[in-house]
Amino acid sequence: MTTAVWILAAALAALNILSFCLMAYDKQCARRGKWRVPEKTLFLAAGLFGGLGGVLGMVLCRHKTRHWYFRIFFPMMLIAQIALLVFIYMTWIAP
C-alpha cells in the first residue's frame, strides 16, 4: 500500500475516534448536568468522515437515540461515506 493510503486510513481513524469521543463526552455531560456539546458539532464530526464513530457512539453509549434526525442521518452519512470510499478505492487506487 502506498503512503497516501496509509495517511488516508490514519486520518479516517482519527476522525472516527474524535466523533466517538465527542458522543461519549456529550453523554457524560448529559448525565452530570454539565455544558453539552452542540448538536451541530456532533453532526459536523460525523459528516467529516466520522460516521462510523458517530454511529458507534450512539449505539454503545446509548446517546441521542431518541432523536429521529440522529437515528436517520448518522447511519445515512456512514453509508454515503463507505460508498464514496469504495468508489475512490475502485477508481483511483486499484484500477
58-78 residue pLDDT tens: 999 998 989 999 999 999 999
Specify the amino acid at residue 57.
Answer: G
Number of structural domains the chain divides into: 1
Range of the domain at 77: 3-93
pLDDT digits (tens, 9 = 90+) for 9-61: 999 999 999 999 999 999 999 999 999 999 999 999 999 999 999 999 999 99
71 CB-near residues (< 8 Å, 6+ apart): 58, 65
